[in-house]
Amino acid sequence: MFKFIKIQKKPYRGSLFFFEQFKYPKEYHQHNDTNYIKTGKLISIEKKLSDDKLEMTTTMVWRSRKDFISYVTDPYVYGFLMQSRDYEIDNDITIDVVIEKDDNE
């Protein structure tokens, strides 16, 4: 199992996280459903907003690190990941990442 935890922090309450600003197309959800959820690669995804609404913690649990890498290097997904990264840079949203994994990963 491979857990990828991304913590996004925005500078002030009025600013928006990428997912609040950008609506992912239906095809994106279908793509993920077909390739990662129904195949059992992505086990769960959970988003948690802090009480002060400034910090968003996204926890993705993957069957393996290899499955996670196949997702982030998927050419279709990659475009959206880069859009999100550029948005975070432009809007001063700071990122932290925590990885939890099995010993064999």
Partner 1 sequence: MNKITWKKINPTDYFSHINIPDDWNSLEEFTDWYLDSKMPLMIPFDARVIVSDDACAICIFKKGNYQVELYLQYPEMWVRKHCHPRMDSIIMQLGGGSSSPEDIYGVSKSWGYIDKNLPPGHYHGGDSVTAAFDGKVILAFQRWENPKEMTSAAIQWKGQLQGNHQVKLIKNYYPNALVQEGYADITLPKDQIES
Q: Interface with partner 1 includes 94 (CB under 8 A)?
A: yes
N-term to C-term CA, the chain:
8
Q: Give the C-alpha separation, 62 to 50, whole Å.
A: 23
Q: Select from 16, 53, 95, 102 the one that contacts partner 1 (CB under 8 A).
A: 95
Taking contact as CB under 8 A, which single stretch among the options 14-22, 25-33, 43-51, 92-100 is the one that binds partner 1? 92-100
* 80's tokens: 């959206």
Nearer to partner 1 among residue 26 and residue 78 (C-beta): 78
Nearer to partner 1 among residue 17 and residue 68 (C-beta): 68
Q: Interface with partner 1 includes 72 (CB under 8 A)?
A: yes
Q: Give the C-alpha separation, 102 to 105, whole Å.
A: 5
Q: Give the C-alpha separation, 91 to 105, whole Å.
A: 34
Under 8 Å between Cβ of 96 and 38: no
- Sites of contact with partner 1 (CB under 8 A): 2, 4, 6, 65-66, 68-70, 72-73, 81-82, 85, 88-90, 94-95, 97, 99
